[in-house]
Chains A and B, each alone.
Chain A
Amino acid sequence: MTKDAILGAIRRGLRRGELPADQQAMLGGRLATHPRHLIPARSRLPRPEQVALFIRNVEKEFGTVERVPAPEAVPAALADYLSAQNLPARVVMAPHPELSAIPWAERPLLGFEQRRAQATDQVSVQHGFAGVAETGTLVLPSAPERPTTLNLLVETEVVVLRASRIAGAYEEVWDRLRGESRDAVSGGFMPRNIMFVTGPSRSADIEQTLELGAHGPRRLHVILIDDDPAALPMADVEAPPPVAVPGGPAAPGD
């Protein structure tokens, strides 16, 4: 059998047979405890600065962010963003309970369908599971209420994220997923797919020069709900000017 041949060749190279039970148990323990390695210090910050770092990094990668005080403010923020970008007020939205609970009826001109994306859809509204301040990364695990196609088939993806879901480093998100997620098929915590999204789609394949808008969304906009009192910006600290203006056109810097 091919599998045995490959494993046999590996063991011959390592000059040993199958690992003894105690060593297997030790390695099994390493898998079960999944020890962390060095985590860069850059994201170990007080909460307000951690959220500010997340925003700065999203903007550095040519995404845009708008902070809103509560879920009730999301419909207006979305409607204004769409009109500023000259986009139709029709979106395909993740069928996520947190998004369903937003009072959309206050903006009756905003049309939406909750389903997976089709090739003709222009704008999606996705539910953010988490954000990673370290690199301004959105974490979007697949689920019936969070279809993967919303991240891919549209020209513009809008992610609604709660500030309390912003972590410093990727490792914190893994632990959150291990704690909160249960997969129906494997019994483990990994869903079918997890996308880590850092900015809008791009390519540098033509003369190693970065251009936005390859096969995925050309625009990535985050509506950040400030649900975490500890993460609010401190009043006396002046925020650094944003790299890209929220709602403005993203332009690669190099």
Chain B
Amino acid sequence: MVAITSPAFKENAARALADPGLQKALGTAKGAFLQRRAQAVANLPEFERLREIGRDIKNHTLAHLDFYLEAYEAKVKAAGGQVHWCSSADDARAAVLEICRKAGARTVTKGKSMISEELGINAHLEAHGIRPVETDLGEYILQLRQEHPSHIIAPAFHLNREDWEADFRRLHTDLPADRVFAERRDILAEARTKLREKFLQADVGITGANFLIAETGSSVIVTNEGNGDLTQTLPRVHIALASIEKVVPTLEDCTSLLRLLARSATGQDFSVYTTFSTGARRPADLDGPEEYHVVLIDNGRSNMIGTEFQEMLRCIRCAACMNHCPVYGAVGGHAYGWVYPGPMGSVLTPSLVGIEKTGLLPNASTFCGRCESVCPVKIPLPKMMRHWREREFERHLTPAAQRTNLGLWAWFARRPSAYRLATRAAMAALGLIGRGKGAFRSLPLAEGWTRGRDLPAPEPGGTFMARYARGQRGR
């Protein structure tokens, strides 16, 4: 699997906050997805009802996941495809490599796939002499830069236009050095030309899957660029990578979820290309792959079933949670230190790689609840982050200072009069030094907290309880 830097979340976040390029990119991107999603949702009066339906479809599927996976496999086989069941990332990498070797592959094109990032497919193929080429525009530049995605649907979320231009000039050295990128579309056109050659050369195409359909044995991809379709249409062999929770029962179930996906993700009513692949090229077909493989991956998901984290398996990877997250918006995706950033990552990453290394992630939340309020399948993300904090505390993984302070707080919280006395004293002190400033940029003994945030200074008028008591009397 890819290396994990989640234990260094605090250092990662501090670096991110001090990175002007990243802050510029985050600032540019901030409003775009939010506005478009809000508009798309406003244009569909049934959206809230569809969220409930989406949740119910996924819950029904998870409650009968064994049945639907077996039904799905039978249909894939009937359509001339093969399913490779893989428990671990190692199994999946080995399965992909073996298919590529049997195909005599030298070049492999790839559609955008987060499970491929999770498995570390590219490094494994490269280590065995096979060249993987990312074809999604964002993934392409990240491969050139030897970076990982910072967002699950917009992988180059952290880059500015200047970065694109500089990297293309640095790496496409066969093109005139003085060429002009007058507009964004010139960057796009250059990538299109470069990648067209790769699409035509590739021996194997690897895509992910947004959904698997038990009724028909289909894998579904959803893209805007068309790179995923070129990847799964032109090479002789198509491999679809999919984790077990991607299965849904029927086309109707899939359709209802598709109505939620693009609106929640990019704010489109529907993505440009939604494609259903079922088996390999038919005898009379003029195009399409001759082999169709599905690498079906568990890699920790089955362990989540029956736990308080089962609901996380409803996730359809739209990224609405991270688009609406104030923490993600401040530090970007790389700070989270593994494949899946933002609120969904803060719940999923501990489930897949363990809480020992990832304890800071469920703590990287203000619990503002926006993630849950926009989730198309209504995953209670804050609740599950709290479950992880509890597990972390139970297992004594929380840092000693934090445990001591929590203990101290608990002592006061259980003694209301002492609590009020203490808060009144603290407020008076803060009020004294902070009056007229409005907010503290730093505070003695609390630098760790104020480094990344401002603390509002108390308004005159006393504590809530004091005001409440006055209000009662005044009635």
Contact = CB atoms under 8 A, between A and B. Distances in A.
Interface of A: 1-3, 5-7, 9-15, 18-19, 23-24, 27-28, 30-31, 34-38, 40-42, 57, 61, 95, 115-117, 119, 134-135, 137, 142-144, 147-149, 151-153, 170-171, 174, 183-209, 211-217, 254
Contact of A186 (B78, B159, B269, B274): B78
Interface residues of B, number: 107
Given A38-B53, A186-B278, 11 more contacts: A13-B305, A23-B64, A27-B71, A31-B214, A37-B252, A148-B233, A170-B258, A190-B79, A198-B270, A213-B185, A213-B189
Contacts of A61: 269, 272
Contacts of B278: 183, 186, 190-193
B287 interface: yes
B188 A211 contact: yes
A137 B71 CA distance: 29
A115 B136 CA distance: 27
B275 interface: yes
Q: Which among B86, B91, B277 has the greatest number of chain A C-beta atoms within 10 A?
A: B277
B80 A185 contact: yes
Given A207-B28, A208-B33, A215-B227, A190 B53 contact: no
B305 A204 contact: no
Given A10-B65, A185-B80, A192-B281, A205 B154 contact: yes
B221 to A, nearest CB: 10
B424 interface: no
A27 B302 CA distance: 21
Given A37-B256, A185-B80, A214-B188, A31 B215 contact: yes
Contact of A31 (B73, B250, B276, B279): B250
Contacts of A208: 28-29, 32-33, 154, 157
B13 to A, nearest CB: 22
Nearest to A119: B200
Contacts, number: 288
Contact of A194 (B137, B161, B164, B276): B276
Contacts of B67: 19, 24, 27
Contact of A195 (B216, B225, B229): B229
Contact of A196 (B33, B137, B259, B274): B274
Closest 6 CB pairs of A and B: A216-B226, A13-B305, A13-B306, A214-B225, A9-B302, A205-B138
Given A192-B281, A215-B192, A207 B161 contact: yes
Interface of A is mostly: loop
B251 A187 contact: no
Interface stretch (B43-51, B352-360, B391-399, B442-450): B43-51
Contacts of B154: 204-205, 208
B225 A186 contact: no
A92 to B, nearest CB: 11
B75 A186 contact: yes
Given A19-B64, A38-B46, A205 B269 contact: no
Contact of B252 (A147, A174, A192): A174
Contacts of B283: 184-185
Given A3-B85, A152-B230, A34 B275 contact: no
Q: Which among B87, B136, B138, B270 has the greatest number of chain A C-beta atoms within 10 A?
A: B270
A254 B40 CA distance: 14
A9 to B, nearest CB: 4
A61 B267 CA distance: 12
Nearest to B71: A31
A13 B188 contact: no
A204 B75 CA distance: 35
Q: Which among A15, A35, A184, A194 has the greatest number of chain B C-beta atoms within 10 A?
A: A194
Q: Which among B29, B253, B285 has the greatest number of chain A C-beta atoms within 10 A?
A: B285
Contacts of B156: 205-206
B267 to A, nearest CB: 10
A206 B270 contact: no
Given A31-B215, A149-B287, A183-B282, A214 B277 contact: no
